[in-house]
Amino acid sequence: MKKSIAVALCAVMTMGMVGTCTTVFAAEEPDPTTDEAVVKAAEEEWEIAVVPKDSTNPWFVRMDTGVKEFADKTGVNCYQIDTGTIDATKQAQLVEDLIAQDVDAICVVPVDMQSMDSTLKKAKDAGIVVITHEGADLTNVDYDIEAFSNEGYGAFIMQNLAEAMGEEGVYTTMVASLTNGSHNEWADAAVEYQKEHYPNMTLLEENPRVESDDNGDTAYNVAKELIKTYPDLKGIMGTSSFDAPGVARAIQELGLVDKFFTSGTGMPADNAELLKSGVLKSLTLWDPAKSGAAMVDLACKVLNGEEIAAPANLYVDGYTEMNFREGSETVLEGQGWITIDAENVDDLGF
């Protein structure tokens, strides 16, 4: 009897281990070399140029890392090229040069939508594949990639905030300004998600949305005032990259670490200290390296003449189930959000 229990236990444990192993494997990055189109691209030596807004910005340095890794791993001739300054005119000029060089595909993160759109028309007329990122309003493109839908990202921030708050208590939302489109969509989606999934959490009725003016100091002062006014308040959801860090400063000063919580968009290097000291439990973001790689993969697919149907798999983590934005035939949205915490904050390099 004892023996059988032992055997059963062993079996359960082994299964558990296998289980963990498989989840580890599932979390492992998808392999773009298994994508037919990418293999073909490497064989045919298609040239794919990625044009960021400006390469001195650490954000696009990180994107460059992603593109380079993709090139090293797959052998596809892809590279990032830029103008050194954020300048719409220079960026358009660079794209024109690429058209003249007759590259096979151009991937752009546009500085200015209008001027880029007319330049991209020339590229399309020349038979060059055009992929963009964060350019959903462009019309002369094959496809535009967005890391996520606004609804999805809002829900994701809420998951992080709820985890920190222990899924209970009163919270409110902070946006740069009430007129900011995406911030308010994220906040609305987060509130929706909370209502569905966290019954023990409630939105602060008297002040459901406050403004930070995209300024860390304002976020800090507003947080202090909220905490004073509403003793029951336990958390603030941030949207702008200054919100959660600003609130964290208030938490630190008022001695409310582990009693009051915040989560939201934030840059890793700028907030490493706050994350490591535990004032901030987590921040949310998307990884430009992944967006860069996903653009190149999609370019390979289009060059290969593949039909892009939802859900499209771009063989990049967070971009494996791309769906079309409602009412659009060119904008693809993924699930490319990431959580930044004390452990991975130093790994991103920006």
Of 234, 263, 330, 296, residue with least CA distance to 49:
296
Cα distances from 337 to residues 115, 151, 213, 319, 340, in angstroms, run: 29, 12, 24, 10, 10
Residue 270 near other proteins by CB under 8 A: yes
Is residue 247 a contact residue for other proteins (CB under 8 A)? no
Q: Does 181 bind other proteins (CB under 8 A)?
A: no
- Bridge-based pairing of strands 331-333 and 143-146 is parallel
217 in contact with other proteins (CB under 8 A): yes
> Does residue number 271 form part of the binding site for other proteins (CB under 8 A)?
yes
Q: Is 280 in the site for other proteins (CB under 8 A)?
A: no
d(CA 90, CA 128): 20
Asked if 222 interacts with other proteins (CB under 8 A), we say yes
Which letter does DSSP use for residue 98 in this model?
H
To the nearest whole angstrom, how small is the minimum distance from the Cβ of residue 60 to other proteins? 12
Residue 346 as a binder of other proteins (CB under 8 A): the answer is no
Judged by CB under 8 A, the residue of 62, 133, 209, 281 near other proteins is: 209
Q: Which residues contact 178 (CB under 8 A, 6 or more apart)?
A: 184, 209, 211
Residue 256 near other proteins by CB under 8 A: yes
Stretch that binds other proteins, among 151-159, 218-226, 292-300, 318-326 (CB under 8 A): 218-226
Residue 254, token pair as written in the block: 């008022």
d(CA 25, CA 131): 30
Minimum distance between the CB of residue 54 and other proteins, rounded to whole angstroms? 10
> Counting contacts by CB under 8 A, is residue 258 touching other proteins?
no
3-state DSSP percent of the chain in helix, strand and coil, to 5 = 45, 15, 35
Counting contacts by CB under 8 A, is residue 227 touching other proteins?
yes
Considering the rule CB under 8 A, would residue 228 count as an interface residue with other proteins? yes
Footprint on this chain of other proteins (rule: CB under 8 A): 56-58, 178, 206-207, 209-211, 215-217, 221-222, 224-229, 231, 249, 253-256, 267, 269-273
